[in-house]
Amino acid sequence: MPNENDILNVLKEVNYPGYSRDIVSFGIIKEVTVANGAVSVLIKLTSDNSEVAKQIKSDCESVLKAVDGIRLAHVKITQPEGNSPSQAQGPEKMPGIGKVVAVASGKGGVGKSTVSANLSCGLVKLGARVGLLDCDIYGPSIPLMMGVNGRPAVTEDDEKLIPLENHGIKLMSMGFLLQDDQPVIWRGPMIMRTIQQFISQVLWGDLDYLVVDLPPGTGDAQISLCQTVPLDGGLVVTTPQEASLGVVRKGIEMFKKVNVPILGIVENMSYFTASGGERVEIFGYGGGQDEAARQGVPFLGEIPIFTEIRKGGDSGVPVVAGAPDSIPAEAFIQVANQLKRILG
């Protein structure tokens, strides 16, 4: 007779509609009961989409009935009641944009924006149409890293902002709208209105992916941003040492709190290669991968420390764009490949 863990392993064969990830990894299975050849599964969805619920129920019952020892399979799905579609499913999807991916970090200084810039370039190398939205209102660094310094034009008919573009990526950032070194002294509501404008009043056109570089941290501002932007998933950037890993858990909890699927963890600054060719792990080894295993989320890859990465960011030519065959560029492209596979 199969037990609860056996049933969960079977349900990993069922993907969430529209994704290549299984429903177990999304954390929507709330209860599994097995007794006398019967299995009962309770699934809680945050979306009120009846077609999604119907598909999940059908797929689950199909795989469960094929299990030896199971005579009866009952799948109960709960969905939000009395909510409008926008309340149940979060922000409205952006027309013409395939997947919206957030890049977050629990703390500053782990290279989140570097990962965002190079991940975007990596997706372009894989043949995707990509946009990069810099939501780090207080410290926008994407303009420098992407080598763009200018003001976006505005369309005459509907007054939409036209993204700037470099390295094959459409770009929008608060940094394009500020004078050099001008601080942003805004409170939450004005920030939210600006981000909403970046979503609805920017002429993004048709994109396969929109990468969203979130501000560092996991406070109210970051949570509100996640609720404002129509995200298909989020990834968390960390470094190997425990001080960084501790706040990774907060980043994952933030995404869970706003019902954003967790796409995985990227470990930055994993190691450097000494002059003799040996690998040196100055911040420790395997912290990101171990944390991903503990959290039950994918480990997307490790990014080494190379001066080429820093030089690329300072010069406005990310290493993936400037030296695509280099070791660090290959590491970023591997992460992009992983992400593309997960999102389907």
Q: Give the chain as a 3 state SS string.
A: CCCHHHHHHHHCCCECCCCCCECCCCCCEEEEEEECCEEEEEEECCCCCHHHHHHHHHHHHHHHHCCCCCCEEEEEEECCCCCCHHHHHCCCCCCCEEEEEEEECCCCCCCHHHHHHHHHHHHHHCCCCEEEEECCCCCCCHHHHCCCCCCCCECCCCCCECCEEECCEEEEEHHHCCCCCCCCCCCHHHHHHHHHHHHHCECCCCEEEEEEECCCCCCHHHHHHHHHCCCCEEEEEECCCHHHHHHHHHHHHHHHHCCCCEEEEEECCCCEECCCCCEECCCCCCHHHHHHHHHCCCEEEECCCCHHHHHHHHHCCCHHHHCCCCHHHHHHHHHHHHHHHHHC
The Cα–Cα gap between 152 and 295 comes to: 40
Cα-Cα-Cα-Cα dihedral sign, residues 81, 84, 87, 92? positive
The predicted pLDDT at position 80 comes to 75
Structure token pair of residue 87: 């309340």
The Cα–Cα gap between 103 and 299 comes to: 14
Q: Label the pairing between strands 207-213 and 97-104.
A: parallel
Could you give the C-alpha distances from 200 to 102, 159, 232, in angstroms and in order?
Answer: 17, 11, 17
Query: Domain coordinates of the chain in residue numbers?
Result: 4-88, 90-343
With beta carbons less than 8 A apart as the criterion, state whether 10 and 75 touch. Answer: no
Write out the H or E segment, with its range, that includes residue 235.
strand 233-238
How many other β-carbons are positioned within 10 Å of the β-carbon of residue 242?
11
Structure token pair of residue 109: 């200084």
Identify the DSSP state of 14: P
The predicted pLDDT at position 83 comes to 43
Q: What is the pLDDT along the chain (344 residues), one digit of tens a residue?
A: 788 889 999 999 999 887 777 888 878 888 898 887 788 899 988 777 788 889 999 999 899 989 988 888 889 898 876 443 333 345 667 789 999 999 988 778 889 999 999 999 999 999 999 999 998 777 789 999 999 988 888 888 877 889 999 999 999 998 887 666 555 555 555 666 677 777 778 899 999 999 999 888 776 667 767 777 788 899 999 988 877 777 788 888 888 877 888 899 999 998 888 888 788 888 788 788 888 888 888 999 999 999 999 999 999 999 999 999 999 999 999 999 999 999 87
The predicted pLDDT at position 81 comes to 64
The predicted pLDDT at position 236 comes to 93
Domain 4-88 has CATH 3.20.20.70: no
The predicted pLDDT at position 87 comes to 36
The predicted pLDDT at position 235 comes to 93
| Class of domain 90-343 as given by CATH | alpha beta
